[in-house]
Amino acid sequence: MLNSNRDALQDELIRTDDEYRHLFDQHQACERRLSELQHQNAPSQQDELEEKQIKRQKLFIKDRMAAFLRNHKENAVTA
């Protein structure tokens, strides 16, 4: 139940909030690039470095998205 509420809130924010939608799109782009890098047969050192950087960026974006959801929930509760 908790996940469905979070998913519903996330879906709403993707539709209605430009900043959150931008974060979501960035996160998806990181996911796609990581998938590409992880499916390479013989990744170079540069590819491995890029993979580490993208993982850090993806985590940073995920943390921002989670904070965004928390703030939105808190504002909804106090309103």
First to last CA, the chain: 22
Q: How confident is the model at residue 1 (pLDDT cuts 50, 70, 90)?
A: very low
Query: Which amino acid, residue 2?
Result: L
Mean pLDDT of all residues belonging to the chain: 91
pLDDT at site 55: 98
pLDDT at site 3: 74
pTM of the model as a whole: 0.85
In this predicted structure, the answer to whether residue 79 has a pLDDT above a threshold of 60 is no
CA angle 26, 39, 23 (to 5 degrees): 5
Two structure tokens written together for 68 = 């965004």
Tens of pLDDT, residue by residue over 5-48, are 888 889 999 999 999 999 999 999 999 999 999 999 898 999 99
Q: Where are the domains of the chain?
A: 2-78
Q: Compute, in degrees rounded to 10, the torsion defined by CA atoms 62, 63, 67, 72.
A: 0
CA 78 to chain centre: 26
